[in-house]
Amino acid sequence: MSNEVARSLSFLPARRRAFSVVFAIELWERSGYYGMQAVLTLFMVEHLHMCDSDVNDMQGALGWLIYALPVLGGVIGDRLLGIRPTLVCGAIGLTIGYFTLALSLTMPIVFLPSLALIALANGLFKPNAGALVRQIYAGDGAALDAAFTLYYMSVNVGSTFSMLLMPWLQQRFGPMIAFMVCGFGLLIGVIYYKFRSYWLDNFFSEYRLKESVGFESPENGKRLWGGLGLGFLVTWGAATTALRHIALMHFVVVLAIIGLLLLWYVIYRRAAVYERAGLLLSYILSLQTMAYLVFYQQQQSSLTLFALRAVSGAYKLGRWTLFSMSAGQFQALNPIWIMVLSPLLAWLYQREARTGREIMFPLKILGGYVCVGLACLLLWQASSRASGLISPWVMVASYGAMSLGELLTMGLGLAIIARYAPMRVSALLMGSMYFLWSVGMYGGGMVANLAAMPVNEIHEAHQAFFYAPLFRNLFLSAGALCIVVLVFLPLIKRLDVQHRASVR
């Protein structure tokens, strides 16, 4: 037995213990976040009495912050504080955010600062949790793949559980209890991390050195923490202001898009000739996957309101009622379908690799938008033909098609960067991918306004029909995206050949 294999085997129990710490806090963090999301739209409509357009704008703006701020969190974790302290700061910030959000029913003034704090703390937590897993299994590719499979399973398990529980708590005991349970759950995760974090020490000796940078003297440490604290407060205030003034958020998003395009241009101009084919592939395919986020955002905005007003919660088989779901609980269908479909796709990809007949990324993306189009077509037909409440089985089928589309588009995003981007800029381009996703989430909120229901103007019997134009336009948009993917297919094939030749 080689020394490397023996060392790897001796590390197995330690790795499992270390991974269990990350798994636990990630499970509780995702439970809190997705539980909050399952309740948030209904809370804004039913308790804060916000109109549909304001709710959609808020969800779009919050989605932009949620996906854009992890770029800053990654920089802070990698270059300044270190991964572990940044993750803990994020978890504590999220916990406080959920607790203060629970107070917003009686103290509306804390609503927007709470959402901004949750977005900012999520930005600190999200990139560094994944970095912990990578560090624990560094140098062991097979174990790393298995660990990330379990890691993402924790995301889906946590989100499914909380998306079913929190809307029930909201209905039974009120939104304050639901938000507080989100906070208490993550508090349990933080406490567990505190008492078990020493299990991570064997894997972070070099990171402990990095985390001590700036702490050589008490004065340097105070300056670093003071600077970061000031930056946090400024960013928190800016995020709160942007959520309060959506017109300002429009301006910020446009500036961000311009900045991203300039960044891409600079990277391309400075790249070696043999790297440019891969870069162009990264850019084109990233934009194609970004468009899915417009559809994904509907789950948190228009689809939740559609379920509230136009969908029956009773699942029936013939004359028998099997079970019931509330409007917020329908969001749990997405992670349930992801857990069902992911192993099937993983098996298919492995089979492709064994036979040497791998399906190209653009064809997978094309299949993804076909699935999204089918989901929107089903919703369009159901809403336009409805004479009363729509069957919840329609939601099950449409969420299934939409979730398969997610795995074939957004789910491939980071794999595209890993395959085609030059190694020296891969981290930067992965950050830009999250930025693109944030733009898609923001655009999704604007699209949801196509079905913003006028207050007290739509009779209950016609509420399903009111959403038909939105689903029709989404169906047509998915069809247009399929055409765009097909138009770019010859160029992508040519660039792929050039890229493969350059890396040989």
pLDDT digits (tens, 9 = 90+) for 434-485: 888 999 999 998 888 887 766 555 555 568 888 999 999 999 999 999 999 9
Whole-number pLDDT of residue 317: 85
Domains defined along the chain, listed by start: 10-241 (1.20.1250.20), 273-504 (1.20.1250.20)
Q: What percent of the chain has pLDDT over 90?
A: 42
Tens-digit pLDDT profile for residues 284-312: 999 999 999 999 999 999 999 999 989 99
Neighbours of 54 (CB within 10 A): 16
Tens-digit pLDDT profile for residues 77-113: 877 888 888 889 999 999 999 999 999 988 999 999 9
When pLDDT is averaged across residues 349-376 and rounded to a whole number, the result is 86
- CB burial of residue 218 (10 Å; 0-12, 13-18, 19+): exposed
Measured in residues, the chain has a length of 504
Query: CA torsion angle for 105, 118, 33, 376 (degrees, to 10)?
Result: 90
**501 or 405: whose pLDDT is higher?**
405
**Minimal CA–CA distance to 429: which of 297, 304, 294, 264?**
264
The CA distance from 202 to 200, in Å, is 6
Whole-number pLDDT of residue 206: 44
Query: Left if phi > 0, otherwise alpha if psi is -120 to 50, otherwise beta: which for 389?
Result: beta
Tens-digit pLDDT profile for residues 113-130: 999 999 999 998 888 887
Whole-number pLDDT of residue 148: 63
The CA distance from 332 to 167, in Å, is 10
User: Alpha-carbon torsion 295, 433, 261, 71, what sign?
Assistant: positive
**Mean pLDDT score of the chain:** 84
Whole-number pLDDT of residue 457: 54
When pLDDT is averaged across residues 368-385 and rounded to a whole number, the result is 95
Tens-digit pLDDT profile for residues 307-355: 998 999 889 888 888 889 999 999 999 999 998 888 888 788 778 777 7
User: Alpha-carbon torsion 236, 238, 243, 244, what sign?
Assistant: positive
Written as six digits, the tokens of 419 are 């395959």
Which range scores top for mean pLDDT: 52-56, 66-70, 95-99, 356-360?
A: 95-99
How confident is residue 10, by pLDDT bands cut at 50, 70 and 90? very low
Check pLDDT > 50 for residue 429. Answer: yes
- Element (H or E) spanning 121, and its range? helix 111-136
How confident is residue 173, by pLDDT bands cut at 50, 70 and 90? very high
Distances (CA, A) of 240 to 117, 246, 391: 8, 11, 39
**122 or 18: whose pLDDT is higher?**
122
Check pLDDT > 90 for residue 11. Answer: no
Place of tokens 């381009």: 429
Whole-number pLDDT of residue 456: 58
Neighbours of 254 (CB within 10 A): 11
When pLDDT is averaged across residues 59-85 and rounded to a whole number, the result is 86
